[in-house]
Amino acid sequence: MNWEDQLKVQAFLDGQLPPDEAETTAAWIQRDPAAAALLAELRGTRQAVRLAQGPVMLAESREFYWSKIAQDIARSERRFPIRSKPGLLARLRILVLPIAALVVLVVVGISLRFHTQTAPKVANGVPPQSATNPKLAITETTNTILVK
């Protein structure tokens, strides 16, 4: 017996089938011993649950219980109002932060480029001639020190 057949037997027991389908299912259950055994097992389970479970009594009426839930929902909605759109400060933050980051990057890039263009060149660990001895000259092609 497949899953759908088992569900059909349970729906038959619960009275959830339309009348014409209930008649065909009842005839099928009488012919099929596996379906009849499942129906008997489901009836036994239903009876055991009914006997084991006593009547459930609520301390409050159903309407009062649901009205308390509705009041709690209304109270929580008042505590946390939903904003439809962000405020002016949030919108400005969205624009200002990326622009500020871009400006910082441009300034750092320009300063690094300027610094590398104006820095004195040092070849083989020897500083430029104007800083130490004007008689020493460094040739850039051979990296040798010439004495004038």
Residue pLDDT, tens place only, 54-111: 777 767 777 888 898 999 888 877 666 666 777 778 778 888 888 999 999 999 988 8
The residue that leads in pLDDT, 140 or 105, is 105
Q: How many CB atoms lie within 10 A of CB 12?
A: 20
Q: Where are the domains of the chain?
A: 3-52
CA dist 129 and 135 (Å) reads: 7
pTM across the whole model:
0.38
Question: The tokens 């036994």 sit on which residue?
Answer: 44
For residue range 5-48, list pLDDT tens digits in order.
999 999 999 999 999 999 999 999 999 999 999 999 999 999 98
